[in-house]
Amino acid sequence: MFRLDELVAHLGGELVGDPAVAVRRVATLDQAGEGDLAFLANRKYAARLADCRASAVIVAPEARELTALPRIVTADPYVYFARVAQLFNPPAAVPAGVHATAAVEADLPASASVGAGASVEAGARIGEDVVIGPGCHIGRGVTIGAGSRLHANVTVYHGCVIGARCILHAGAVIGADGFGFARDRDGSWIKIPQVGRVVIGDDVEVGANTTIDRGALDDTVIGNGVKLDNQIQIAHNVRIGEKTAVAGCVGIAGSTVIGARCMIGGQAGIIGHLSIADDVVVSAGTLVTKSIHRAGVYTANLPVQPHPEWVKNFAHLRHLDSLVDRIRALEQGLDKADPTESD
């Protein structure tokens, strides 16, 4: 339960209306009721302010006079909402200490927590307030920065580095071997030892069952503030710039370098050895097969169709080249009155 004046004291913004109004939850304009703090993040929902039953709302300066409710005026109501939500919903406290069923061979600060059945190998350097969830495995010589939290069943291979205040969700695997083999004459694959590490910056979130492979010779590097959704595969020696966000099921192949503040849509793929500039947006389902040198939105996906129409239309994709030949022939037919024109 926070009073509006307490919120503004914590988080800034201008308070309009009764400072003693108290709120205890955030909610959407539609669903908010007594005790809720709603927010108007998108101008097109402004009409909903009229019927809003929230105790107070967060609005942008231009919406300041659109409601008589007690309100906090701030440049970015959605960011403000996120910060209030964090205040209302702090991460569940986890008691410090090592569970009786955990196996810890490293020195830990007293503030760290290791869950049931987890293991931490020798030489791991674990920061203050780190939470290692049940069933996690932390390999030899791993570094985990202060305040980071690993949920259950996360695996971090030997030597990898995780920054401060990171969140790793259940089933994530950091530092498995990259997919590196030399092909012998008979087609056999000779394994190339993967001796690089994974180095993850501060404030990174890694989704459930996401995998980040260790580098072959050099490291795989994830910049500060990067957010990775679930089921993402990041291959060896990839480098991802600060604050880039990657949605679920994306695959990024080996040695590709991605800039800062990029947004990669769900199920997109980026092949190996490419370079993607800063501030690039890749649409969902798009396979990137060439480097991208300029900021912007890039897309390659298909319009979904009812199956019979798809059959009718897409059969022609196998014959596009001959279609183009037919168009060219038609153009020459029309032009044949003009003998100066050539192909």
Please list the active-site residues.
Answer: 236
Nearer to a second copy, 65 or 325 (CB): 325
**Binding status of residue 45 toward a second copy by CB under 8 A:** no
**Binding status of residue 157 toward a second copy by CB under 8 A:** yes
Q: How far is the CB of 191 from a second copy (least distance, A)?
A: 7
Rounded distance between C-alpha atoms, residue 240 and residue 274, angstroms: 12
Number of residues interacting with a second copy: please give it, by CB under 8 A.
Answer: 131
**Taking the alpha carbons of 203, 207, 209, 214 in that order, is the dihedral positive or negative?**
negative
Q: Could you tell me which residues are beta bridge partners of residue 26?
A: 37
Stretch that binds a second copy, among 16-24, 51-59, 65-73, 175-183 (CB under 8 A): 175-183
Q: How far is the CB of 20 from a second copy (least distance, A)?
A: 25
Cα-based torsion angle of the residue sequence 222, 225, 228, 233 in order, rounded to the nearest 10 degrees: 0
Nearer to a second copy, 28 or 111 (CB): 28
Judged by CB under 8 A, the residue of 95, 307, 339, 342 near a second copy is: 307
Nearer to a second copy, 169 or 239 (CB): 169
Rounded distance between C-alpha atoms, residue 13 and residue 84, angstroms: 12
Are 27 and 36 in contact by the 8 Å Cβ rule? The answer is: yes
**Binding status of residue 337 toward a second copy by CB under 8 A:** no
**Binding status of residue 151 toward a second copy by CB under 8 A:** yes
Nearest Cα neighbor of 214 from 227, 240, 195, 229 is 195
Task: For the segment 203-262, give every residue that binds a second copy (CB under 8 A).
Answer: 205, 207-209, 211, 213, 217, 225, 227, 229-231, 233, 235, 242-243, 245, 247-249, 251, 253, 260-261
Nearest Cα neighbor of 163 from 206, 133, 123, 121 is 206
**Binding status of residue 201 toward a second copy by CB under 8 A:** no
**Binding status of residue 110 toward a second copy by CB under 8 A:** no
**Binding status of residue 123 toward a second copy by CB under 8 A:** no
Q: How many residues appear in the chain?
A: 343
* Six-digit token string for 296: 């912007």
Are 166 and 205 in contact by the 8 Å Cβ rule? The answer is: yes
Rounded distance between C-alpha atoms, residue 205 and residue 333, angstroms: 61
**Binding status of residue 106 toward a second copy by CB under 8 A:** no
* Six-digit token string for 4: 């509006």
Nearer to a second copy, 1 or 182 (CB): 182
Judged by CB under 8 A, the residue of 34, 93, 182, 338 near a second copy is: 182
